[in-house]
């Protein structure tokens, strides 16, 4: 029998959506490609560096440094939960939102081909009764904010590598572009999108899910800035333990690894694709590919260790209960 304590007045996604989700999760090709990338990475690392030599620097790292970097990483995921809570107005349900965030992150980092993204709308429906399409659309806008701030970090990297006043102007212009979100959200009710087709309804749903209140957009972007600032600081600090290069080059390496999610293929636990993206970002900057690969693998090991530990802790957090208050969206 299903545990009713885990379910909140759920609004299950349509049967068609559930069926599609199940087919995607069960596609053998996703797991085959992911497995091949994982195996290829293991072989390439052994041939190019050697696993014993690659892992040797961990013995010299301070446990206090690792604890501090793990704390920063944990804080970044706590801020992600705050962002989701703010977006949906889920006041009074932070433990459940944090659980959702940690489990979504674990699935995203461990499953191949970004199948973990499907966990977010599924858990939003399970815990808070939100529609599948609506929750997916909200996740899309959060990803837009993520990519926008990564673009701002890109401007910072250019500023550090080639100091000039023009980068301050470019950064200001880039931030001002957030105002387009207000315009985009208002297109959701436009007559041109009022057609009967499913495509029109889907586009309208996505546009209507965009944050409309300027103050909400500012808050969401503030959470986004804190999230990525903590993560980049932690990851660049750790990467510095394996690569003695300038700060801006370290940031480029972290940026490349984080943008591996946009690659057309993604290995199990990101194995292969994560390292490939990091090496591709660092090699053109004069970093020896063999050293870049070793550093990228070690950074990835830290990410996966944090993911597994935080995911396990997430399972210990309470979930909403159908007692009349929990799981309801606050106004």
Q: Is residue 161 part of a domain?
A: yes
Given a contact cutoff of 8 angstroms between Cβ atoms, the answer to whether 187 and 193 are in contact is yes
At residue 268 the predicted structure's pLDDT band, cuts being 50, 70 and 90, is: confident
Q: Is residue 111 part of a domain?
A: yes
Q: Is residue 266 part of a domain?
A: yes
Q: Is residue 323 part of a domain?
A: no
Given a contact cutoff of 8 angstroms between Cβ atoms, the answer to whether 152 and 174 are in contact is yes
**Tokens 């797991």 sit at which residue?**
31
Q: Could you tell me how many residues make up the chain?
A: 331
CA–CA gap between residue 134 and residue 124 (Å, rounded): 10
> In three state form, how does the secondary structure of 178-196 look?
HHHHHHHHHHHHCHHHCCC
Given a contact cutoff of 8 angstroms between Cβ atoms, the answer to whether 295 and 58 are in contact is no
Report the largest interatomic distance among the alpha carbons of the chain, rounded to a whole angstrom: 64
Q: Is residue 194 part of a domain?
A: yes
- Take residue 236 and report the two structure tokens written for it: 């660049």
Residue 152 structural domain: 29-49+64-314
Which pLDDT does position 33 carry in this prediction? 63
At residue 213 the predicted structure's pLDDT band, cuts being 50, 70 and 90, is: confident
CA–CA gap between residue 55 and residue 270 (Å, rounded): 19
CA–CA gap between residue 126 and residue 194 (Å, rounded): 30
Which pLDDT does position 187 carry in this prediction? 66
Which pLDDT does position 195 carry in this prediction? 59
pLDDT tens digits, residue range 113-161?
677 888 999 999 999 988 888 899 899 999 999 999 999 999 999 999 9
Given a contact cutoff of 8 angstroms between Cβ atoms, the answer to whether 95 and 317 are in contact is yes
Q: What total of structural domains would you count in the chain?
A: 1
pLDDT (mean) for 226-235: 97
Which pLDDT does position 329 carry in this prediction? 40
Burial of 121 (0-12, 13-18, 19+ CB in 10 A): buried
pLDDT (mean) for 96-107: 94
Given a contact cutoff of 8 angstroms between Cβ atoms, the answer to whether 236 and 250 are in contact is yes
pLDDT (mean) for 15-43: 58
Q: Is residue 331 part of a domain?
A: no
Q: Is residue 178 part of a domain?
A: yes
pLDDT tens digits, residue range 59-70?
888 999 999 999
Given a contact cutoff of 8 angstroms between Cβ atoms, the answer to whether 124 and 100 are in contact is yes
């Amino acid at each position: 029998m299903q545990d009713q304590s885990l379910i909140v007045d759920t609004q299950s996604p349509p049967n068609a959506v559930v069926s599609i989700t199940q087919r995607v999760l069960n596609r053998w090709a996703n797991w085959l490609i992911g497995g091949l990338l994982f195996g290829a990475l293991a072989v390439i690392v052994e041939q190019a560096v050697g696993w014993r030599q690659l892992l040797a620097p961990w013995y010299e790292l301070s446990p206090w440094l690792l604890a501090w970097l793990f704390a920063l990483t944990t804080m970044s995921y706590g801020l992600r939960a705050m962002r989701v809570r703010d977006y949906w107005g889920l006041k009074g349900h932070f433990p459940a939102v944090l659980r959702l965030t940690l489990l979504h992150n674990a699935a995203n980092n461990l499953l191949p081909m970004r199948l973990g993204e499907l966990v977010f709308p599924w858990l939003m429906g399970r815990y808070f009764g939100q529609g599948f399409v609506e929750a997916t659309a909200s996740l899309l806008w959060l990803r837009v904010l993520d990519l926008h701030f990564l673009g701002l970090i890109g401007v910072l990297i250019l500023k550090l590598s080639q100091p000039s006043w023009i980068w301050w102007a470019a950064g200001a212009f880039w931030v001002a572009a957030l105002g387009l979100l207000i315009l985009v959200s208002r297109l959701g009710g436009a007559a041109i999108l009022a057609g009967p087709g499913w495509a029109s309804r889907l586009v309208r749903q996505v546009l209507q899910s965009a944050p409309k209140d300027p103050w909400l957009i500012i808050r969401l972007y503030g959470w986004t800035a804190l999230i990525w600032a903590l993560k980049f600081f932690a990851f660049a600090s750790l990467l510095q333990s394996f690569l003695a290069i300038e700060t801006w080059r370290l940031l480029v390496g972290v940026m490349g690894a984080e943008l591996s999610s946009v690659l057309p293929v993604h290995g199990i636990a990101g194995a292969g694709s994560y390292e490939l993206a990091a090496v591709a970002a660092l090699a053109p900057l004069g970093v020896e590919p063999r050293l870049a690969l070793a550093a990228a693998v070690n950074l990835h090991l830290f990410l996966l260790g944090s993911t597994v530990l935080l995911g396990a802790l997430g399972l210990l957090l309470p979930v909403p209960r159908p007692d009349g208050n929990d799981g309801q969206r606050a106004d």
